[in-house]
Structure formats: C-alpha cells, structure tokens
A = this chain, B = another copy of it.
Amino acid sequence: MDLVTFGEAMVRLTPPSSQRIEQARSFDAYVGGGELNVAVAAARLGVSSRWVSRLPENALGRMIANRAREQGVDVSVEWTTGDRAGVYYAELGAAPRASSVLYDRAASSISRIAPGTVDWASAFSGARWFHVSGITPALSASAAKVTAESLVAAKKAGLTVSYDLNYRSKLWSAKEARAIQEPLMQHVDVLITTEEDTRVVFGIAESKNAYEHLDAESYDEVARTLQKRFALQAVAVTLRENPLVLVNSWSAIVAAEGEIHRAPRYEVEVVDRIGAGDAFSGGLIVSRLENRGWHDTVRFATATSALKHSIPGDFCLVTRREVDQLLGGASLRVSR
C-alpha cells in the first residue's frame, strides 16, 4: 500500500431528482466519507490505498466495506457488534437553496474507537503517505485521541502526512476545532484547506476583501501565513465560486517551496459536489507519490476534482486517462 487513510465512512442517502428529504419516498444509497473518498480517488488513479476504520458487523457495515472494495481500496476495518453505522442524508439544492447535509452519525462505530486499539505499525507497513482530515477528530474525544496517535505513528514510520482541515460546523465548534487541531499540525507535511475553513478555524483571513468575485491571488497570503505558522511543507487551498448551486467555478493554489502554484479555473456543472475536496486531496497525493512537482500537482489535483463535480455520489469515479485528457485540453463534444 502506498497510501493509508483513516476515518469514518457512512451510508449516504440522497433523495432522487432534487427532492427534499422531507418529501422523499425513496433515497438513493451511496457510501462516502472524507478519508475513504481520498483512498478511492487514489486507487482509481493507480496508487494502491488502504482505508483504516471501524464498522458494525451488519448489513450497513458490510455495504460500506463492500463499496470501498469495489473501487479497489484495501479495507482494514475493525468489525464490532452492538454499534451502528454512521448515516448521512444529503439533499441537493438549486439556487437560491443550497445543498444541505443532515448527519445521523452520532454514536457510530468509529466514534467509539479506543486509543491503543489500532496497530498502526502494521497498518502503515510498506506505506509512503498518510492522510486524515479534520472530520475524524471531530467525531468524539476518543477519535481525536486516536487521530493524534495515528499522526505520531505515521511520522515515526517515515510517511508523508497530509491533513484536510474539513471543518464541519455540525460536528463541533470552531473553538473546539482549533483547540484540538493546532497541536496536530506539528505532524503534518501538507495541509489542504479552503479560505473559509482557515478563517473560521485558525482565524487567518486574506487582507483584501475578495468575497464577491473570488480572486485566486488574494488567497496567496492565507496559504503563506498557514505555511509559516505551522512550518508546513505545502499548503493547498481550493477555490470555489458559487453564484449558483448548479454551476460553479473551481480552482486551487499551492504554496510550497517559496512559490505559489496555480491551477486553471474550471467552469463546473454540478451534478454532485460532495467529495470534490477529497478528490483534490487524492489527486494531490497521487501526483506527489509519482514524484511530480507542485506546479504539475496542483493542476492534476484540480483537474481530478473538477471532474468529480459531474459524478453522482461521494466517489471520484474517473479514470487516469480522463484526467490526462482534461489536462490536455479535451473538448466538450460528445466523444463518439
């Protein structure tokens, strides 16, 4: 395994045809979760990946593990009895109604993980990169402890560590998020975040007010500040403009090696934007594991995640060839 990720994956229930949860008479069932999504993106792009988690031994737990395996991810799960699987309901919006998520993940199997129960040495055996996001420590106090353990173990094992800030206001407050995560940053090599999460969690904001019309350059400062404060190898900031719900623009920058590396901006027609940030992380990791520089990496990760917006579900079900074609300037004509 080149890549190891650690976190929760849930059954995701989404009403079909833009319906609201409340009116739904059926739900489409997907599986998703930040760190699993990253493992899936990496596996699809050709990097072997393992996902470490904890699931109940019931039909929903098996559904989650099976769909991870379906995409080629190595599933390293502690199976439990008496617990429940996390579930979330995702309602897709249309302007002026934003998409929204209703979490039903309290008391899920992974939230009850106990410190010292994961054999990290074994989980990391042969691996080169470890990825976790700010969702995992938000799940419970014990999950936060195990996250800290995992980061220490990863560094000890010589892995590169990436961390997606991924602030979830429905799981914890900004204050808690900061208190728990600032100490974790010392173990992190690459931080992936958005302008908004950085501002809310770490209180770092660009000096010019660039709200209405996103200007990539104004985020340089945010990225550089983060990089310095936490002595990070690199900081990636994804940039989204959403004047509408179903058409966004999407780009990213990386601050690394004293430079700002910029990706082009993509106009994306949004089928499902959940998981786009994770696809970005997956693309970034794959590119770095293939020894490409940050200029190419930010472009590769942005193209990968731009494609994700067109795919239903959390997973970035692309092929390597599709990403390469987009980078090469593919047209939007029907391919036939």
Report which A residues bind B (CB closer than 8 A): 13, 16-29, 58-60, 62-63, 66-67, 69-72, 84-85, 87, 89, 91, 93-104, 106-107, 168-170, 196, 240, 242-247, 266-271, 273-274, 303, 306-307, 309-313, 317, 322, 326, 330-336
Nearest chain-B residue to A19 (Cβ)? B312
Known: A60-B21, A70-B70, A106-B84. A244 touches B270 (CB 8 A): no
Q: Do B332 and A245 have beta carbons less than 8 Å apart?
A: yes
Q: Report A51 CB to chain B, min CB distance, Å.
A: 14
Nearest chain-B residue to A68 (Cβ)? B70
Q: Would you list 18 pairs from A and B whose C-beta atoms are within 8 A, ordered by A residue?
A: A16-B17, A18-B271, A20-B317, A22-B66, A22-B317, A60-B104, A66-B72, A84-B104, A87-B87, A94-B270, A94-B271, A95-B332, A96-B330, A97-B310, A196-B333, A240-B333, A243-B267, A244-B247
Q: Report A269 CB to chain B, min CB distance, Å.
A: 4
Q: Report A286 CB to chain B, min CB distance, Å.
A: 18
Nearest chain-B residue to A194 (Cβ)? B333
Which residues does chain B contribute within 8 Å of A93, judged by CB atoms? 310, 332
Q: Report A293 CB to chain B, min CB distance, Å.
A: 23
Which residues does chain B contribute within 8 Å of A242, judged by CB atoms? 331-333
Q: Report A24 CB to chain B, min CB distance, Å.
A: 6
Compute how far the CA of A101 lies from the CA of B334 in the bound complex, rounded to whole angstroms.
Answer: 7
Q: Do A13 and B27 have beta carbons less than 8 Å apart?
A: yes
Q: Report A279 CB to chain B, min CB distance, Å.
A: 12
Compute how far the CA of A69 lies from the CA of B44 in the bound complex, rounded to whole angstroms.
Answer: 13
Nearest chain-B residue to A312 (Cβ)? B19
For the complex of A and B, the 7 pairs showing the least CB-CB separation, nearest first, are A70-B70, A94-B269, A21-B59, A101-B336, A94-B310, A97-B310, A100-B335
Q: Report A101 CB to chain B, min CB distance, Å.
A: 4
Q: Do B17 and A17 have beta carbons less than 8 Å apart?
A: yes
Q: Do A29 and B26 have beta carbons less than 8 Å apart?
A: yes
Which residues does chain B contribute within 8 Å of A306, judged by CB atoms? 96
Nearest chain-B residue to A104 (Cβ)? B84
* A18-B310, A22-B60, A244-B267 given; 6 more Cβ-contact pairs under 8 Å: A23-B63, A25-B28, A67-B70, A70-B70, A98-B333, A273-B334
Compute how far the CA of A317 lies from the CA of B311 in the bound complex, rounded to whole angstroms.
Answer: 27
Q: Report A301 CB to chain B, min CB distance, Å.
A: 14
Q: Do B95 and A268 have beta carbons less than 8 Å apart?
A: yes
Q: Do A20 and B59 have beta carbons less than 8 Å apart?
A: yes
Known: A107-B106, A242-B332, A336-B100. A28 touches B26 (CB 8 A): yes
